[in-house]
A and B are shown apart, each in its own frame.
Chain A
């Protein structure tokens, strides 16, 4: 019972939301050490290890501080908590939460994560392994990311099914007519929810929830290790999803194809990855729905999450090497990637929020009448309605906020002097990078907002 009451008050999610707000104040300013310290203290890891959202956030701050070992621990913890391969939940507490979730808020549950987050966790873990000089581990992480990508469509179907699952069947059937009416009203094509969905739709989608950046990274890894056939297949996948927009990707794909057909091996190369700006965010959208009762129409406030696009910092970088310059070009738009999964599950989220509001009003009305108050449903409502009146009308706006707005790439020959000079419009001196040894090197640059200190990392790929 204690567990149930704790779940109903939603303290898990509310604490997550508050922590994210405080973390992002530092993160968006490029204060990565302060951001990781806020959550995990001096080690960066002194926090509740089973909190997925915390692990995702602190992992990003730590990698931008070049504390790669600690970042790997955080991302390992995150991967251990990620769901959505299947219809599993993490604990008994979650089962209770799910059982009550038509009435309680999703904020009462621990953060389950998203499918795209799983792909990105393994992608970042691959980069972290390269930073630690462990290409064998990087290969394992890239293989995991590839499996997650291959399974994304099936996982998404399971997720949508779970979001629309009818957990409080009795309560819902009892009030089905009122719920259907309210859902129809909320989903009116001219209504505010539809307008917000149009905005989400305008962000676009990635077919098959496939992330071309992860395929590209895996592809250039295989190119470096001399596996041109595999590289070619992966880069082809990225080209298809990217829509042939990115010239650097096309050049890498052409190189892989050429080598796979017996052409000359790739010359020494540098790949620049630019993680620019801050990714999309969820905000709460509050509105009233009107529920017919014996006492007439009763307005009840409810809330839904709404997805807003992220903000760029510079958009692209200029990379100068050997007297020549090239621009990074975006290969992954996080707005579009996140919107793909968000939109797929949104009907279920709307249904659940509306159904919860309708049931809450009707139960209150029944309680006032004094009928059915001795049954389980009445007893439950006596607990739920007064104690959780606020939390049930809060939308779950948790998400991995420390993601970039876009990820751009550049592919260029390794310069003879081993120096890259990196700038951007309005910020010519973002950094000068001295390349580490190796035939194939990756440089990552994170710019959260104009003027914020950038984070630069270098990684040697195998094959040198």
Chain B
């Protein structure tokens, strides 16, 4: 349990009915889409990931290159490196999973789990090819070589955290940056950045 040093002052404030306010949004989910809870944390919580993911998907779907030129088939996308450049121990899948779900629902993108930067996300698709040698399995039901679909787009990104002192408060800015690269050409087909800024007292670091 942590108790502030001027305990008597805090106790007096509580008795007097003074409301204390926690960190607030400057930009992000608490501003253009007010959250009923009002307050936030200086770190990132589920609302921030949901908000950033929704903004990212809206941005992608409004891009003309979200539709494959000359085709009605969806893009096949691989997930590349997502860098957490904050002071928080966060799992970048909190952001990416939501984006994947919404993109799949849009019908314009399918994510491959057979290719990943550090190996396939789901190695079973490749592993099941070993059944081609097995007499136990009906070979008509075994996936054959040359059937997997290679990715056409690669999704990479970064979450950057920057903290600045503003008077007796601290402002923490989180930059959600995403890029979809056309793997054939190496050209960035889509770029996205969303900033979620929060301000709060300077009593704790954002990760505490």
Contacts and interface: CB of A to CB of B under 8 A. Distances in A.
Interface of A: 85-92, 94-95, 98, 136-137, 139-140, 143-144, 147-148, 150-151, 154, 162, 165
Contact of A86 (B1, B85, B87, B202): B202
B77 to A, nearest CB: 22
Contacts of B89: 137, 140
Given A85-B208, A86-B203, A154-B202, A143 B87 contact: yes
B7 interface: yes
Contacts of A90: 2
A147 B87 contact: yes
Contact of A147 (B4, B84, B85, B205): B205
A32 to B, nearest CB: 28
B47 interface: no
A85 B7 contact: no
The 9 closest A-B pairs by CB, nearest first: A86-B203, A143-B87, A87-B5, A144-B87, A85-B205, A88-B2, A95-B7, A85-B204, A89-B5
B83 interface: yes
Contacts of B1: 91-92
B83 A139 contact: yes
B12 interface: no
Contacts of B205: 85, 144, 147-148, 151
B30 interface: no
Given A85-B205, A144-B205, 12 more contacts: A85-B208, A87-B4, A87-B5, A88-B203, A89-B4, A94-B3, A98-B5, A137-B89, A140-B89, A147-B206, A154-B202, A165-B5
A150 B204 CA distance: 14
Nearest to B91: A136
Contacts of B165: 151, 154
A140 B90 CA distance: 9
B202 A143 contact: no
Contacts of A139: 83-85
Given A92-B1, A150-B163, A140 B86 contact: yes
A98 B8 CA distance: 13
A140 B87 CA distance: 5
